[in-house]
Amino acid sequence: MSRPVCGVLLAGGQSRRMGGGDKCLRELAGKTILQHVIARVAPQVQALVINANGDPLRFDAYDLPVVADSIEGYAGPLAGVLAGMDWVATNKPNCELMATFATDAPFAPRDLVPRLLEGLEAADADIAVAASGGRLHPVFALWPVYLRNSLRKAMMREDVRKVDVFTARYKVTEVEWDAGGMDPFYNVNRPDDFEHARQLLQA
């Protein structure tokens, strides 16, 4: 990989559609969803950190740093992006780029980071975002860490909360994955999705 990339696992959501709690810590085919995600994305990055709020001890088994949002009140994925950028800037200053991963998508592509990086450089873009089946997946993206102070200002002074409102200020390139057989960004949002995900894992 031509440029070092660090990664942040976005686990800061409230999982309302799953009845609350940590959706990513629920078991799926003998492993937690988070374990499935880590197995796929960890080899693609130089370092990995979990973004989660509340007691960090519940993630002890994963042996990864845990960083909470600095913006209070469950401010959404952008708060996790900012927390990740701050961690990378402090702990891995050689990483100019940071990849973000949803923690409810157990089939995340094993070539996610290399392809996002390739797309970013080919388009000379600021941000690369994954897409499949005609849909964007803004929580699967590649961000330059230098945007962290602009993001902090947008969130704290302008109350920006939506990812696309922030990214619209920059040049964004979309990198498409085939969703024909199975969408690699399939996310486990509701109880019914678990059974479907189990069937996909056993296929």
Q: Across the chain, what does the average pLDDT equal?
A: 88
pLDDT tens-digit map of 129-172: 999 999 999 999 999 999 999 999 999 999 999 999 999 999 99
- Number of other residues whose CB lies within 10 A of the CB of residue 16: 9
Q: pTM of this prediction?
A: 0.90
SS3 content of the chain, % helix, strand, coil (to 5): 40, 20, 40
Q: Which domain holds residue 27?
A: 5-202
Instruction: Work out the pLDDT band at 73, boundaries 50, 70, 90.
Output: confident
Q: How many domains does the chain have?
A: 1
Domain containing residue 170: CATH number:
3.90.550.10
Sign of torsion, CA 100 146 125 159?
positive
pLDDT of res. 94: 96
Instruction: Work out the pLDDT band at 190, boundaries 50, 70, 90.
Output: low
